[in-house]
Amino acid sequence: MDRTRITRTALLLLGPALFLLFYAFSLQVQEPDMLRVLGVAAWMVSWWITEAVPIPATSLLPIILFPAIGIFNIASAAVPYADPVIFLFMGGFIIALAMEHNQLHKRIALKLISLTGTRPNGIILGFYLATFILSMWISNTATAVMMLPVALSIIQLMKSQNPFIMEDKGFKNFCLSLLLGIAYAANIGGVMTIIGTPPNVVMVGMMRQFLQVEMGFNQWLLIGVPLGVVMLAIMFILMNYLLFPNRIASLAGSSEMISKQLQDLGPMRKAEKRVSLIVLLTASAWIFRGILNQHLGITFLNDTNIALIGGLLMFMVPADGDGAQKLITWKQMDKLPWGILLLFGGGLSLAKAMESSGLVEQVGTWVSSFDKLNLWVLVIGLTLLSLFLTELMSNVALTTLFIPVVIGISSGLDLPPHLLVIPVTLAASFAFMLPIATPPNAIVFSSGFIRMRDMIRAGILLNLIAVVIICLMTFTLVKWVYGG
């Protein structure tokens, strides 16, 4: 047996071995449930980190293991897989896929880029803004995948105008700032809405499950938008004036290239206009949900059914005059990340077990002995820990495991949970340092223009800045929006 196969087998067996170890210890105590749930968590974490088994498949373990060890029956273990927050994300994804299918996202991106001129820093700003705005609504990965070829065409234009430009430091810096910025802007833009990035969805589900607290779409905008705008502005200055200044005067032909791509799309089609209208109506309903419920005399309207109504309309509204083709068909659902939805369900099922077994309460009781712990120190420490761990593991897996613990800490110290949960969640989306940390990072790294040390150099500075900004906003905006 070769070494690679031995390693794979060892990683595969690590999870069950950890589970059996915790289970053996549980046989020696009067209240075994906490240790058994910890065993399941250890099994899932080991497979999530090593990916010995695909991450979505690992997320099915709670349905198998919790009935087997007496934590829940199978119905109770499976209920979290149909949590409302999962359908919120599903509805958001359907809307995003309709935008992609009808190329509305590409038109928006090219239009934004065309407005920022032909100077290199203006071109870079256009790419940042387009990526930033699109990633509020469609997946960060899809945004980066779409923006990368457009960016590479600009780089190719510069190379065609000057065959020796590859040796120019200004050109290298332009490439680094443009490509790294696309990944970073995608990550930053995702935090601005609840549906923009999976950790936000996990947080909303956990807050509802543990604390019966509803976190509305419009409330989150009051935190996410200011944070996103500040981080994008800082990132633009850092990348283009401090780390990678290009000092290139202007780029001839770039405006014509973008205009040509816009012309190739043709005039805005009926399908694009109809998708735009549904997106605007859905976003407006999310923002003004409270007013709508009040004036219509209803109570059932929430973020989840608004998302599903918007998604369902995409299957109902004709793409053209004859009505034969709809804005989206079921075939496009092949692109829907079903694995992420399973990951949400597995995480929520695990969190439910951590609560029912008393594990979260036990964490709170243990932490309450540190009642003199400074709140600033605690928030900074948890934010740093989340930021470091998200560079090494899936941010969804991280928030799934970390948020119940953080809720236990807030309970033990009698602190408003928002002051700890929100910074931990935000930090999980700000992974700027390594290609493996997020799909957008890996996508731009694959271009061949970025060295590992360049990404680490820019990423570590942005990570540290993110900690400062997140903590400052926690003690200002979060307190103002949610109290505490």
The confidence score (pLDDT) of residue 316 equals 93
| Residue of 74 and 259 predicted with greater confidence | 74
| Residue of 209 and 118 predicted with greater confidence | 209
Lowest mean pLDDT among 104-118, 177-191, 262-276: 104-118
C-alpha distances (whole Å) from 194 to each of 136, 239, 419 are 9, 27, 17
The confidence score (pLDDT) of residue 257 equals 73
CA-wise closest residue to 303 among 483, 105, 83, 132: 83
The confidence score (pLDDT) of residue 479 equals 87
pLDDT tens profile 455-472: 889 999 999 999 999 999
Amino acid letter for position 446: S
* pLDDT classification of 164: cutoffs 50, 70, 90: low
pLDDT tens profile 423-439: 999 998 888 888 777 77
- Calculate the average pLDDT of the chain: 85
The confidence score (pLDDT) of residue 18 equals 94
The confidence score (pLDDT) of residue 284 equals 85
pLDDT tens profile 299-355: 788 888 888 999 999 999 998 877 778 899 999 888 888 888 888 888 888 888 888
Dihedral angle at the C-alpha atoms of 484, 220, 202, 278, nearest 10 degrees? 160
pLDDT tens profile 8-55: 888 899 999 999 999 999 888 888 898 999 999 899 988 887 888 888
Residue 1 has pLDDT above 60, yes or no: no
The confidence score (pLDDT) of residue 421 equals 92
d(CA 10, CA 19): 14
The confidence score (pLDDT) of residue 211 equals 80
* pLDDT classification of 132: cutoffs 50, 70, 90: very high
Residue 99 has pLDDT above 70, yes or no: yes
Distance from CA of residue 239 to its chain's centroid? 22
Q: Could you tell me the two tokens for 211?
A: 């604390």
Q: Could you tell me the two tokens for 421?
A: 């949960």
d(CA 371, CA 475): 19
The confidence score (pLDDT) of residue 319 equals 86
Listed in order, strand segments (DSSP E) in 129-275 are none
Q: Could you tell me the two tokens for 395?
A: 């941010």
The confidence score (pLDDT) of residue 19 equals 94
d(CA 277, CA 155): 34
Q: What is the mean pLDDT of residues 67-80?
A: 92
* pLDDT classification of 104: cutoffs 50, 70, 90: confident
Stated pTM of the model: 0.78
The confidence score (pLDDT) of residue 315 equals 94
Q: 332, 138 in Cβ contact below 8 A?
A: no
Helix pair 289-296, 270-287: axis angle to 10 deg: 80
Lowest mean pLDDT among 166-175, 247-256, 339-348, 416-425: 247-256
d(CA 225, CA 228): 5
pLDDT tens profile 377-421: 889 989 998 888 888 777 887 888 888 888 888 888 888 889 999
Q: 453, 435 in Cβ contact below 8 A?
A: no
Residue 363 has pLDDT above 80, yes or no: no
d(CA 344, CA 350): 10
Q: Could you tell me the two tokens for 191?
A: 């935090």
Residue 250 has pLDDT above 70, yes or no: no
